[in-house]
Amino acid sequence: MCGVLIAFHRQGLSRFGGNIEFALDSIRHRGPDQAGEWRNESWYVGSTRLAVTGGTKNLQPRVTRDKRFVIVFNGEIYNFRKLRKQLIDKGWDFDTDGDTEVIVNSYLEWGENCFKLFDGQYVIAILDVLTNELVVARDRFGEKPAYFQLTPMSLVVSSEVNPIIQIHQTPVEINRTSVLQYLLNWYVQEPNTIFRNIYAIPPNTYTRINVLNSFQTEQPEFIEIHKEELTREYFEVKQNNIVDDFEEYLTQAILLTYPLEHEPALMLSGGLDSSLIACILRKEGLPFKAFSTTLQGKAMDESNMVENIATNLGISVTKIPIVAPDSHDLRRIISQTDIPIGEASFIAGFESAKIIKDFGYKVALLGDGGDEILAGYPTYLATILSSKIPTRVKPIMRQLGLVLNRLPFEINHNETKDKILRFLLFQNQDSKLSHLSWRVNCTFADLHMRNNLTSNSAIEEYNYTMKQLVKGDSGNLLMSIMKLDRKTWLSSSNLVKNDRAFMLHGIENRTPYLTNLLVDYADTLPNNLKMRGLRTKCLSRELSKRYLGNLLSSDSKKGWSFPLKEWTSLIDDETDQLMKNSVILEFFPELEEVFHQRQIGIKGSHRFKWAMITLEYWLQTRTYPIY
């Protein structure tokens, strides 16, 4: 795992002053083991390396023997050994035993088609020194980040946003639509970022930029890598029944992502996905160290479930207590990220990675992605149900939601009332648009904001973006909304959160459920193996019975929810002072009324308050000018 930085200036690198070296240092946490650079008059290619695969010969940037190509790479190619053997059969020889040289030779052998062959998490940048052409590719779901900025005179590509800002040393303009999107969603939908004119390279794409022939300020063309849908016949049935078959492919995915050179940590929750990883690692006799977070309050803590799983498997678990952050802790953690991250679970991930680092681990296995490929979220049930409701009934349901929102009753368990209100309030003729709306972080606030901002270009652009996302074939509604989650919530929020939480401590995280091997297999499975009646993730539950009996056969998991109501109430006094100097209200002064109403107790206010507080802290801790 590494940090990468590529910079180009038409008039020579001297135009950047001495900012490049400082910019590379700002992502040193991503690669604390080694750093390297290559440069000529106009190009700079830098890398910071976390040494996980291969020895000391696997330094970056890597230059081909003829000096024509320079490559930097962030991530892991899980199937590189298989590709290495294929290349050797074709006559290629190797100086190293890592995956970087496999990428180089694969590109020279197969061109851009090589990206289809890579199963892994990666950002790959290949510079052709002869033609001044840069090719950048990003993995299927955006597990590894990449950002870029084009100006009429320069190009900068980086693993994080900070190096781009440091190199240009100019005031940064905030994107008003992105601010609004963050307040509603807790994240900014890629390829946009919180900044104007700084973009994310979209997942599952590669782009080719020739700085001499077509160097413009418009975004370059992004070409999709994985296009075709595989059929069921593509996958060989390994065993006698579908559960055996699923177990075989999940085992292959786990073995593919298991780091052979370092014993990994495993983040073990009380849910199916991480538990099945633990079960299969035990079955295969592979060593790992389990860690689990604990929360104050019985409603959201899953310690008992984790202990039962550990007892069944005969393993020990190191518990990491997560306590409510005070304003100082919150500011300290938020100030370290290059982009704002609204998910409260980022706090838990950040603290967990710190403990894992202290134990001496370099790699952590996570269960993320299982819900998006095997239908684990309750919102999938809600969307299927919504699709069966007559269109004429939906306006009545929305009015009922408005009435219930004002009633004084409370349901405390797992924010059940909030979920009921969202289901009622955001009924839409397009079920996929309803599904996206249920992901927003507020109910009343969203409606109030829309009313206050209807004439605002930011809300119009936000609404347009949401409608564009749900376009496409709805023949298989369940598959459509799972893929919708993959390109929104998963890639723009969950994986970004994980990357920053762990890489800020120099820990590589790997997700077996997002390997091409397992995703392609899962996508061929019929819906009734994923969701049946009111049960989600049916196939995973059946497999878990083989290892854990009926321990995980019910829908009892609470999810990684956090007591935001309690957390925000602890810093109410600081929040009042914070908002007196609000940067957000400079962009949206009309939101002052909304925030005031949330402060005095509008139901569900903690979700909106958390979004406002985290973004405000982030904006106020920037060390560069913002406008």
Domain identity same for 216 and 318: no
Task: Provide the token pair at 176.
Answer: 């008003």
Domain identity same for 27 and 92: yes
Beta strand 62-63 with 69-77 is antiparallel
Q: For residue 604, give Cα distances in angstroms to 322, 594, 597.
A: 22, 13, 11
Domain identity same for 54 and 36: yes
Q: What is the mean pLDDT of the chain?
A: 84
**Which long-range contacts link 416-425 to residues 24+ away (Cβ below 8 Å)?**
417/603, 418/443, 418/604, 418/607, 419/378, 421/604, 423/382, 423/386, 424/397, 424/398, 424/400, 425/398, 425/401
Instruction: Answer with the one of 180, 207, 224 that is the final residue of a domain.
Output: 224
Domain identity same for 138 and 280: no
Mean pLDDT value across residues 112-132: 95
Q: Is residue 263 part of a domain?
A: yes
Mean pLDDT value across residues 203-228: 77
Helix (H) or strand (E) holding 25: helix 19-25
Min mean pLDDT across 52-56, 249-253, 363-367, 503-507 is at 52-56
Q: What is the 3-state secondary structure (H, E, C) of 108-119?
A: HHHHHHHHHHCC
Q: Say whether pLDDT at 151 is over 80.
A: yes
Min mean pLDDT across 184-188, 556-560, 564-568 is at 556-560
Domain identity same for 152 and 125: yes
Domain identity same for 178 and 126: yes
Q: Is residue 219 part of a domain?
A: yes
Q: Say whether pLDDT at 114 is over 90.
A: yes
Mean pLDDT value across residues 435-456: 56
Q: Is residue 460 part of a domain?
A: no
Mean pLDDT value across residues 401-410: 68
Domain identity same for 216 and 266: no
CATH number at residue 106: 3.60.20.10
Q: Say whether pLDDT at 120 is over 80.
A: yes
Count other C-beta atoms under 10 Å from residue 172's C-beta.
Answer: 18
CATH number at residue 511: 3.40.50.620
Mean pLDDT value across residues 143-147: 96
- What gap in Å lies between CA 247 and CA 242, rounded to an integer? 8
Domain identity same for 246 and 334: yes
| Interior/surface letters 191-210, b for 16+ CB within 10 angstroms, e for the rest | bbbbbeebbbbbbbbbbbbe
Q: Is residue 136 part of a domain?
A: yes
1 vs 317, more confident? 317
pLDDT for the residue 104: 93
pLDDT for the residue 259: 93
| 104-113, 235-244, 432-441: range with highest mean pLDDT | 104-113
Residue from 438, 408, 411 nearest 425 by CA? 438
Min mean pLDDT across 26-35, 464-473, 481-490 is at 464-473
Q: Is residue 9 part of a domain?
A: yes
Q: Is residue 77 part of a domain?
A: yes
Instruction: Answer with the one of 178, 207, 224 that is the final residue of a domain.
Output: 224
Q: Say whether pLDDT at 28 is over 60.
A: yes
- Where does 388-513 have alpha helices with state H? 394-405, 416-425, 431-437, 444-452, 457-469, 477-485, 495-503
Domain that holds residue 64: 2-224
Q: Is residue 458 part of a domain?
A: no
Domain identity same for 218 and 236: no
Task: Provide the token pair at 599.
Answer: 């402060």
Confidence of residue 552 (pLDDT cuts 50, 70, 90): confident
- What gap in Å lies between CA 20 and CA 38, rounded to an integer? 12
**Is the peptide bond between 408 and the residue preceding it cis, with omega within 30 degrees of 0?**
no
> What does the pLDDT look like over 160-170, one tens digit per residue?
999 999 998 67
Q: Is the pTM of this model over 0.75?
A: yes
**Is the peptide bond between 61 and the residue preceding it cis, with omega within 30 degrees of 0?**
yes
Confidence of residue 585 (pLDDT cuts 50, 70, 90): confident
Task: Provide the token pair at 53.
Answer: 């695969």
Domain identity same for 206 and 245: no
Domain identity same for 329 and 348: yes
pLDDT for the residue 474: 60
Domain identity same for 304 and 194: no
- What gap in Å lies between CA 87 and CA 460, rounded to an integer? 51
Longest CA span, the chain? 74
- What gap in Å lies between CA 221 and CA 205, rounded to an integer? 9
Q: For residue 311, give Cα distances in angstroms to 195, 275, 315, 509, 548.
A: 48, 12, 7, 25, 10
Q: Say whether pLDDT at 574 is over 70.
A: yes
- How many domains would you assign to the chain? 2
Instruction: Answer with the one of 190, 224, 258 that is the final residue of a domain.
Output: 224
Which residues make beta-bridge pairs with 172?
Answer: 626
- Where does 60-138 have alpha helices with state H? 80-89, 99-110, 114-117
Q: Is residue 467 part of a domain?
A: no
